[in-house]
């Protein structure tokens, strides 16, 4: 009898822990990304789509808001921010390196903080 109770207890604890680590497959994430023009829009969205797990990406030129839907089982918002910074655009969370920023076209260079 003790073995049955122990097996049931271990099974219950196992299912409870598994349920807590479940990640969102359709996380809607919005962040601010610096940029200026249509060229920036294409570059930012292309960088977002290069991250595995990103399903949609749309950067609004006037508000500088990037809205994505991503699968947290495949990537994280941090991965997304790093990919965008790598192409030269600062996000609220990750700043692009000076070298990456300097590689931007002249019209795409925004005022950095």
Task: Look up residue 111 and give its two tokens.
Answer: 């005022």
Q: Note the pTM of the prediction, 2 decimals.
A: 0.78
Task: Look up residue 8 and give its two tokens.
Answer: 């049931």
Residue 14 confidence class, pLDDT cut points 50, 70, 90 = low
Radius of gyration of the chain (CA): 20
pLDDT one-digit tens code per residue, 75-112: 999 999 999 999 999 999 999 999 999 999 999 999 98
How far is the C-alpha of 32 from the C-alpha of 57, rounded, in Å? 13
- What ranges do the domains of the chain cover? 24-108
CATH ID of 24-108, from 3.40.50.2000, 3.30.365.10, 3.30.70.100, 1.10.3720.10 = 3.30.70.100
Crossing angle (nearest 10°) for helices 38-49 and 77-86: 130
Window from 2-16, 24-38, 62-76, 95-109 with minimum mean pLDDT: 2-16
């Amino acid at each position: 009898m003790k073995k049955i109770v122990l097996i049931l207890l271990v099974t219950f604890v196992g299912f409870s822990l598994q349920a807590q680590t479940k990640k969102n497959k359709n996380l809607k994430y919005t962040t601010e990304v610096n940029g200026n023009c249509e060229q920036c829009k294409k570059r930012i969205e292309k960088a977002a789509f290069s991250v595995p797990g990103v399903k949609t990406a749309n950067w609004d030129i006037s508000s500088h808001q990037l809205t994505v839907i991503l699968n947290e089982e495949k990537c994280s918002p941090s991965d997304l921010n790093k990919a965008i910074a790598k192409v030269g655009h600062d996000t609220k969370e990750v700043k692009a390196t000076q070298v990456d920023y300097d590689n931007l076209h002249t019209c795409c260079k925004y005022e950095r903080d």
